[in-house]
């Protein structure tokens, strides 16, 4: 058996978790309208809903929390964060935000006019939602192999640069206020993007005068994949890979709840001073003053420390090793997964497991509900519940290419035996898969419906 890098930490504080019995789980999920977001977290045994804001902070971060400077303006903690930001990302200006979507809201509000189109490899749901809320159109230009769940390729998050060139020609630069790329590609399996691809994408945007922003949520995991997989980077320190990535962009936003190893926070960073001024004004209107942006001083301190810890190579080796271990365990249980394992999560291929459930009846939701019923495990559907939408003219439903369930691994939280338990539960579900049924909505809002929709079994 393959040995994965062990945890580069030991545990000195524990949070008890408890598995309620099957009958209690059936009642809990019924009461939640079969929406995993509607469960009480205490009724979940292993919570893989998200890796966002669910990690454990280190002793250094907790010590930093006590040292946070809560001054309204110009706090010491802000300057600490500014110094770390400048060292890692190298952008001239940044503002803290309370999470990633606050940064998305500001940038989409400032730059998008109705009818504009925003290209990316793939937009995640909050980015997608923010663009649509400004009457813009998110456009996904990831390479086609990203949709082949069995293609084992090093950089399945890469943007298809031919598609990007074609898209710019057809759309016209006047209708593309900015372009972006998501690293790693969360909506497409947590797959990394190569530096070569980021370089080419940056060049295409630059040639066309389109500002280039990086959605940087999982930049550290992406950089470690580059080190492991991209020729020429094997010996490069992670920090140098990261600097090389962000040198190629005009700005970035990030949910610090991922690779900055904190429970809340984010930022928006740019090079352009005039844009920064506009961002500052928006921030003050919605989030808070420019030196805290909706966060407490202690949060800024924890982000500053977490950003550096998230780049430590023994941590990243353990982190990506844990994801690979879960993927291997699930495969041994007979569960089809998207290959290769992503950075922060393993994506179960519900479409392949449950071919008897049509997309209109949400196979991903069926599998996500089963994981809870059988094991008290909470994942999230990333398929038609999240991404199907009616065609703007014909009103006919357009379904995504993949029906996935994501098991996102919180950082520094669960051990290998928790992951083995997930494998055992998966084995049980695989053995009864023909009995699983689809779902239909009893309520669904228009935007970001996955969060509050309610279902009943078909
Ligand atoms: N961009 C990406 C790629 C994300 O994965 C997320 C959040 C955001 C932006 C928004 O950040 O939550 O801080 O407002 N993803 C979480 C997830 C929610 O579960 O994948 P946020």
Pocket residues: Cβ below 6 A from ligand 1: 50, 52, 99-101, 124, 126-127, 182, 186, 215, 217, 255, 257, 266, 408
Say if pTM beats, i.e. exceeds, 0.75: yes
Verify that 347 and 439 share a domain, yes or no: yes
Verify that 412 and 327 share a domain, yes or no: yes
Is there a domain that residue 2 lies in?
no
Question: What's the CA-to-centroid distance between 254 and ligand 1, angstroms?
Answer: 8
Is there a domain that residue 84 lies in?
yes
**Domain stops at, among 273, 293, 309:** 309
Is there a domain that residue 359 lies in?
yes
The distance from CA 448 to its chain's CA centroid, rounded to whole angstroms, is: 15
Is there a domain that residue 158 lies in?
yes
Question: What's the CA-to-centroid distance between 258 and ligand 1, angstroms?
Answer: 8
Is there a domain that residue 227 lies in?
yes
Question: What's the CA-to-centroid distance between 126 and ligand 1, angstroms?
Answer: 7
**Domain stops at, among 291, 309, 327:** 309
pLDDT given for residue 247 in this prediction: 98
pLDDT given for residue 194 in this prediction: 98
Verify that 229 and 319 share a domain, yes or no: no
Question: What's the CA-to-centroid distance between 255 and ligand 1, angstroms?
Answer: 6
The whole-angstrom separation of Cα 69 and Cα 304 is: 13
Helix (H, G, I), strand (E, B) or coil at 231: coil
Output b/e per residue, 163-196; b: 16+ Cβ within 10 A. bbeebbeeeeeeebbbbbbbbbbbbbbbbbbbbe
Q: Which residues of the chain have pLDDT under 70?
A: 1
The tokens describing 151, both together, are: 């293609």
Verify that 98 and 243 share a domain, yes or no: yes
107 Rama class: left (phi>0) / alpha (psi -120 to 50) / beta: alpha
Give the model confidence (pLDDT) of 113-135 as tens digits: 999 999 999 999 899 999 999 99
Verify that 350 and 403 share a domain, yes or no: yes
Instruction: Supply φ then ψ for residue 234, to 5 degrees.
Output: -55, -40
Total number of domains in the chain: 2
Verify that 284 and 333 share a domain, yes or no: no
Alpha-carbon distances of 313 from 43, 56, 239, 326, rounded to whole Å: 35, 17, 10, 20
pLDDT given for residue 448 in this prediction: 83
Nearest CA to ligand 1 atom 1: 124
Q: Which one-letter DSSP state was computed for residue 276?
A: H
CATH number at residue 403: 3.90.1150.10
The whole-angstrom separation of Cα 175 and Cα 116 is: 5
The parent domain of residue 40 ranges over: 22-51+313-457
CATH number at residue 294: 3.40.640.10
Question: What's the CA-to-centroid distance between 100 and ligand 1, angstroms?
Answer: 6
CA 408 to ligand 1: nearest atom:
19
**Domain stops at, among 309, 331, 350:** 309
Is there a domain that residue 10 lies in?
no
CA 255 to ligand 1: nearest atom:
13
Is there a domain that residue 70 lies in?
yes
């Amino acid at each position: 058996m393959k040995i994965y890098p062990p945890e580069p930490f030991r545990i000195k504080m524990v949070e008890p978790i408890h598995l309620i019995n099957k009958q209690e789980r059936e009642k809990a999920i019924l009461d939640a309208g079969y929406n995993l977001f509607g469960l009480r977290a205490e009724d979940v045994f292993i919570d893989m809903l998200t890796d966002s804001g669910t990690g454990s902070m280190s002793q250094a971060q907790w010590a930093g929390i006590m040292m946070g400077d809560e001054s309204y303006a110009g706090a010491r903690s802000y300057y600490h964060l500014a110094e770390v930001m400048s060292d890692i990302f190298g952008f001239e200006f940044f503002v803290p935000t309370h999470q990633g979507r606050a940064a998305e809201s500001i940038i989409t509000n400032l730059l998008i006019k109705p009818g504009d189109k925003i290209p990316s490899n793939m937009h995640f749901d909050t980015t997608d939602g923010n663009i649509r809320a400004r009457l813009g159109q998110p456009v996904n230009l990831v390479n086609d192999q990203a949709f082949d769940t069995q293609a084992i390729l090093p950089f399945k998050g890469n943007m298809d640069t031919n598609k990007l060139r074609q898209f710019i020609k057809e759309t016209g630069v006047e209708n593309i206020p900015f372009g972006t790329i998501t690293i790693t590609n969360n909506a497409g399996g947590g797959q990394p993007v190569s530096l070569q691809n980021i370089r080419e994408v940056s060049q295409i945007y630059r040639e066309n005068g389109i500002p280039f922003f990086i959605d940087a949520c999982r930049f550290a995991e992406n950089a470690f994949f580059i080190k492991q997989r991209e020729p020429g980077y094997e010996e490069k320190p992670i920090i140098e890979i990261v600097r090389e990535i962000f040198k190629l962009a005009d700005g970035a936003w990030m949910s610090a709840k991922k690779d900055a190893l904190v429970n809340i926070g984010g930022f928006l960073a740019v090079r352009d001073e005039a844009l920064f001024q506009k961002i500052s004004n928006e921030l003050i209107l919605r989030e808070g003053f420019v030196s805290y942006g909706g966060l407490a001083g202690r949060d800024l301190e924890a982000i500053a420390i977490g950003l550096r810890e998230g780049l430590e190579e023994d941590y990243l080796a353990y982190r990506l090793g844990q994801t690979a271990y879960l993927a291997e365990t699930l495969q041994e249980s007979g569960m089809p997964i998207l290959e290769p394992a992503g950075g922060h999560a393993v994506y179960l291929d519900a479409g392949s497991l449950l071919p008897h459930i049509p997309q209109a009846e949400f196979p991903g939701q069926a599998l996500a509900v089963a994981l809870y019923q059988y094991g008290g495990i909470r994942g999230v559907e990333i398929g038609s519940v999240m991404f199907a939408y009616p065609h703007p003219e014909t009103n006919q439903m357009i379904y995504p290419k993949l029906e996935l369930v994501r098991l996102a691994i919180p950082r520094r939280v669960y051990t290998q035996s928790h992951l083995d338990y997930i494998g055992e539960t998966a084995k049980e579900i695989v053995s009864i898969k023909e009995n699983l049924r689809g779902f239909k909505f009893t309520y669904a809002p228009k935007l970001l419906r996955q969060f509050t929709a309610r279902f009943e079994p078909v």
